[in-house]
Every structure is written in C-alpha cells, then in structure tokens.
Amino acid sequence: MASRLDLVRQTFDKLAIDGLLITDGVNMKYLTGFDGGTGDGVVLVGKNGAALITDGRYEEAYRNALPEGIELLITRDYFGVAMMAAKRYKIARLGFEDTITYRDFDVIDETFDGEDIAPVPALLEMIREVKEPDELVKLRKAADVSVAAFNELLPQLHVGMTEREVANLLDQIIKSKGAEKPSFDTIVASGFRSALPHGTSTEKVIEAGELVTIDFGYYVDGYTSDITRTLAFGEIAPEAKKIYEVTKQALDATILATKAGMLAKDLDAVARDIITAAGYGKEFNHSTGHGIGLDIHEGPVISARASEADVLAEGMLLTIEPGIYVAGLGGVRIEDDIILTGSTSENLTSGISTDLIVIEK
C-alpha cells in the first residue's frame, strides 16, 4: 500500500506542481499524526523531502513520533522556515491549500514568482475519502461505542426531561465508555423544534406526544461516528407517524442501493425520489449524506448537486441521513454510518433500531 506521502506526490504531475504546503489542521494530522490544529504549524511535502514545521510546544511529543520520511523543524516562523525548506527540496512550483491567510500567502508569494504558486483546494480531502484498513478499524470502534451508549440512554429517557438534560446524559454515558470528545454539540430537538435540521439543545421540556430527534457523534482514537435517531415520546400524531415511515423507507432503500461505482448524486436521488413521491420533497432540505473520518463532515457529499466526478469507491465511509421537516408538526431524521465494501455495504450503526422507538414513560 502506498504511503500517504506517496499518495500526495502521485498527484504532483497532474497538478503541475512539485511541492505542496499544507495548512489545514485535519490534513496535517492525516499526513503526520500532528494534533496541534490549524494555525499551530504547517506541513511541506516535496518530491524529495517532507517536513512538519511547528514550534517548541510540540518538539518533545513529535521528535520521534513522525512517519518515516518527515522531518521535524522547530520554529515560530512557520512560513519563513517552510520557504527555506522548499528551496532545499528544490521545489520550483508550490501548491497551497485554501486555509492559508492573506498574510501568510504574502510570505510564499515573495519566495515564489506569482506564476510558480498554485491553489490546490481539497486535494488531501479527496485522498482522505477512501479509508485505509486501520482507519476503518477506528471508525468501527467509534460506531460501536456510540451505539452502546445510545442503547444505554434509551431506558433512562422520560417525559419532563429537558433537551439539554438528554444531551448531557448521553455525553456522560459515552465518555464513560472511552470516547474522547463530541465531534459537534449533541443535538436534542423536541416537538416543533425537531423541524430544525440543526437545532441546538435547549432548556425546552420534552412533552408527551412529541417527536424528539437526537443527533450525535463522538471521537474514539481520533475518528468519529455520526448517528441520528428520532424517537416518539408517547403517542404521536398520524402525520408524524407517516413522515417517520417515509423517512425510514428512504433510509432503507438508500442503504440497500449503496455500492461502489455509483454516482453520489444517483444515491441521493434514491432517498429524494421516495420522499418527493410521498409529497414531502420540499421538506427534505439537505443532502442525503456525507463522508466521515478524522472530521465530522468529509467528502463525498451525497447530494443532488454532486458532479459526474463524484463517484463512490470501495473503502469510503458515508452517512445516510434522509429527513423530513414539517413546520409546526416536527421533523424526522434517521442516520446510519455505512462502509462501502465492493459491490455491497456494511452498516456500522445497525445496533440501534431504526423502527420507531416509543418512550412510554
């Protein structure tokens, strides 16, 4: 298997560059293991050398911890030292990411003629879309921990809890199982607020007869899960049951259709066509899914706006998350994490039922 450095270098000829300056924190972590984040260093990759350039806070941690072929350069002048290394690596045309600041761009612009620098947005993000076997092990673990925590949460839920109490309880349970941190603030949206696709958790009290959407993701070993379930607290309205049934039908059909080689937009159409046929096309107002990994939102995006170049491949890990949001009634979203395994797929989060779960107390 080609190393991650090799995967980057293999793109150089096509992009007409012979070096790449990496400033995005997640991309730096992917290549080097560096966990400092955006703004705490840069990574430079040339055809005949590579370096993590950071400051003394990280010297002890990474002196002997970098992958083979990456040197550690300690300085507070990240970009100045990167430009000196670029000369040493004989980089004649440098690519850079879109996370660079204008001030730092000036540093590379002074070193390279304007024609000898090139923006290369999303290069590392595209490489990261297909997961390596060790990444899939970590993603399975993150999913397993999240599934176990949610199933432990369910019997503790009852009418009268606030959204924030539910979110805090889930956070507490999952951290007790070894999760590092949430990948976003846990969403608990109840009643009319469940019609907000990305509503935050509030002090609103959950009442009988309400839909409650819980959307959560947690990092384990640096990789995240992303799961959503919508619950019924007591008896819900007939239309609420209907939108749940339609959403589940869309979820099941889309997971069944997921396979390597298909276009991302065609997979989106599976869910969208079912929801539209049921009369709720306008109430499904987001993409059908996205990749996850080191970050909570990665490529590919499963969207009607995806291009012909967005082809699903074996080793990708996708969320499938159709939803219907009806103002005044509430909303339903159900989300599973799916690995593409050749001609089929593997559902990492099937350990939580996607049938309508009713909280009776």
Q: Which of these, 238, 246, 186, lies nearest to 215 by C-alpha position?
A: 186
**Is 130-359 a CATH 3.40.50.20 domain?**
no
Q: Model confidence at 26, in pLDDT bands (50, 70, 90)?
A: very high
Averaged confidence pLDDT in the chain: 97
Helix residue ranges, H only, 10-58 = 12-15, 25-32
Eight-state DSSP code of residue 132: P
Closest CA to 334 of 236, 255, 219: 255
- State pLDDT tens for residues 194-228: 999 989 999 999 999 999 999 999 999 999 999 99
DSSP per-residue string spanning 188-237: EEEGGGGGSTTPPP-SPBP-TTEEEEEEE-EEETTEE--EEEEEEESS--
pTM, two decimals, is: 0.95
Written as one letter, the residue type at 62 is Y
- Section 13-27 average pLDDT: 97
Rounded to 10 degrees, the C-alpha dihedral 91/92/98/101 comes to: 90
Peptide bond into 182 cis (omega under 30): no
Q: What is the pLDDT of residue 2?
A: 73
The class (CATH top level) of 4-127 is alpha beta
Q: What does the pLDDT read at residue 10?
A: 97
Size of the chain in residues: 361
For residues 34 and 41, the answer to whether their CB atoms sit within 8 Å is yes
Q: What is the pLDDT of residues 156-203, one digit of tens each?
A: 999 999 999 999 999 999 999 999 999 999 999 999 999 999 899 999
Kindly list the domain boundaries of the chain, sorted by start residue: 4-127, 130-359
Band (1; pLDDT cuts 50, 70, 90): low
CB contact at 8 A, 217 and 225: yes
Encode pLDDT of 65-100 as tens digits: 999 999 999 999 999 999 999 999 999 999 999 999
